[in-house]
């Protein structure tokens, strides 16, 4: 019974990736081991990858600040050492909210250059984000990626061109055959999230997904940014769905339709994505703006 409640909580919270205004008291952090020394933590916000072993504990993303103590408890329950390293897959608050807490305790935070810049600057407008405090900022930043040699795995942290934002990293554990996708891949109802106001572009997202698909095989364990564990076949289907959507919106745009006209045409009406964080209009808008940005 307890387990069912926990998963129901996860499903509801995972559907609202960016929402920070909520009560975290009821959030349970659940862990799933995916390979020796590699686990995923589900809670509220982006899925957390954990690498642990004799060399220390690495977290891929850290959800929201009020959850840090629960995340640390879940890490300890895995038998892991306290968090020594954090990798941010991108700058969104549901993936970086724990940075300040963990950074203050001495965890070394890694991310793409643009993640640090966006966290430091914050953003104004529709969904304002205040500038992050110094302790929350990545200390080691990179352009193309960085390779870590920890806990018996070569771990490649790779920027493949972004797409969800302009600073998306994926993390691939060689040997374990596990990949963390960040928000380049949502396995939740609704459409993909292309944050064009954070430099995201659907063309880059497709290229990044293609690069991962070439890299992995049928046995790869795929950790999505949100939602339950996945695999290559599902990732391939997700990429194909995006391609289809882009083709339809591109045709409308080339045919002279404005964004409003493209929305009115409901080009994704027959896509069976369910209701989620991003609806069809949101995705059509993001595709249209992405194509505008490449003219
Ligand atoms: Zn995100």
Cα–Cα distance list, 230 to 6, 66, 152 (Å): 19, 27, 24
pLDDT per position as a tens digit, 69-112: 999 999 999 999 999 999 999 999 999 999 999 999 999 999 99
pLDDT per position as a tens digit, 109-132: 999 999 999 999 999 988 899 999
Distance (angstroms) between ligand 1 centre and the Cα of 208 equals 15
Distance (angstroms) between ligand 1 centre and the Cα of 158 equals 16
Residue 166 lies in a domain: yes
Distance (angstroms) between ligand 1 centre and the Cα of 185 equals 10
Distance (angstroms) between ligand 1 centre and the Cα of 278 equals 12
Distance (angstroms) between ligand 1 centre and the Cα of 161 equals 15
Distance (angstroms) between ligand 1 centre and the Cα of 167 equals 10
Residue 161 lies in a domain: yes
Residue 20: predicted pLDDT: 52
Residue 106 lies in a domain: yes
What's the mean pLDDT when you consider all of the chain? Answer: 93
Counting runs of H as helices and runs of E as strands, what totals does the chain give?
9, 12
Closest among 203, 235, 176, 195 to 95, alpha carbons compared: 195
Residue 220 lies in a domain: yes
Residue 122 lies in a domain: yes
CATH classification at residue 96: 3.60.15.10
What's the pTM?
A: 0.92
- Mean pLDDT computed over 259-269: 98
Residue 127: predicted pLDDT: 83
CB-based burial label for 126 (10 Å; 0-12, 13-18, 19+): exposed
Can you say whether residue 123 is alpha, beta or left, with left for phi > 0 and alpha for psi between -120 and 50 degrees? beta
Residue 19, pLDDT > 90, answer no
- Helix or strand holding residue 85 (H, E): strand 83-87
In total, how many domains does the chain have?
A: 1
Higher pLDDT, 75 or 17: 75
Residue 12, pLDDT > 60, answer no
Residue 49, pLDDT > 60, answer yes
DSSP letter at 176 equals T
- Helix or strand holding residue 132 (H, E): none
Closest among 74, 48, 45, 79 to 61, alpha carbons compared: 48
Residue 7: predicted pLDDT: 41
Distance (angstroms) between ligand 1 centre and the Cα of 194 equals 9
Rounded percentage of the chain residues whose pLDDT exceeds 70: 93
Distance (angstroms) between ligand 1 centre and the Cα of 17 equals 7
Residue 150 lies in a domain: yes
Residue 292 lies in a domain: no
Distance (angstroms) between ligand 1 centre and the Cα of 169 equals 11
Residue 13, pLDDT > 90, answer no
Domain hosting residue 109, numbered range: 2-242
Distance (angstroms) between ligand 1 centre and the Cα of 89 equals 8
Among positive and negative, which fits the CA dihedral 180, 72, 7, 194? negative
Residue 34 lies in a domain: yes
pLDDT per position as a tens digit, 140-153: 999 999 999 999 99
* Displacement of CA 239 from its chain's centroid (Å): 15
Residue 18: predicted pLDDT: 57
Distance (angstroms) between ligand 1 centre and the Cα of 195 equals 8
Count the helix, strand and coil residues of the chain and give each as a percent rounded to the nearest 5.
40, 20, 40
Cα angle, residue 46 at apex, residues 229 and 219 outer, rounded to 5°: 25
């Amino acid at each position: 019974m307890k387990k069912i409640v926990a998963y129901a909580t996860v499903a509801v919270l995972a559907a609202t990736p960016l929402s920070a205004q909520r009560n975290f008291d009821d959030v349970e952090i659940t862990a799933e081991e995916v390979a020796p020394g590699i686990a995923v933590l589900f809670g509220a916000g982006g899925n957390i990858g954990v690498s642990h072993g004799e060399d220390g504990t690495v977290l891929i993303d850290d959800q929201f600040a009020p959850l840090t103590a629960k995340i640390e408890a879940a890490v300890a329950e895995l038998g892991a050492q306290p968090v020594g390293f954090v990798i941010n897959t991108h700058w969104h608050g549901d993936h970086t909210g724990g940075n300040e807490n963990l950074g203050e305790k001495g965890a070394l935070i890694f991310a793409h250059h643009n993640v640090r810049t966006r966290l430091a600057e914050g953003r104004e407008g529709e969904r304002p984000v205040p500038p992050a405090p110094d302790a929350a900022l990545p200390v080691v930043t990179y352009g193309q990626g960085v390779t870590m040699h920890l806990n018996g795995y070569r771990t490649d942290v790779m920027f493949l061109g972004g797409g969800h934002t302009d600073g998306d990293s994926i993390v691939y554990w060689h040997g374990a055959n596990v990949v963390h996708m960040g928000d380049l891949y949502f396995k939740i109802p609704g459409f993909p999230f292309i944050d064009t106001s954070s430099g995201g572009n659907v063309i880059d997202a497709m290229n990044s997904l293609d690069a991962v698909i070439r890299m992995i095989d049928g046995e790869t364990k795929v950790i999505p940014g949100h939602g339950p564990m996945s695999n290559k076949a599902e990732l391939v289907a997700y990429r194909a769905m995006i391609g289809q959507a882009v083709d339809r919106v591109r045709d409308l745009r080339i045919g002279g339709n404005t964004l409003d006209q493209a929305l009115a045409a409901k080009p994704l009406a027959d896509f069976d994505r369910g209701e989620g964080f991003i609806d069809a209009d949101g995705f059509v808008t993001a595709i249209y703006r992405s194509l505008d940005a490449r003219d």
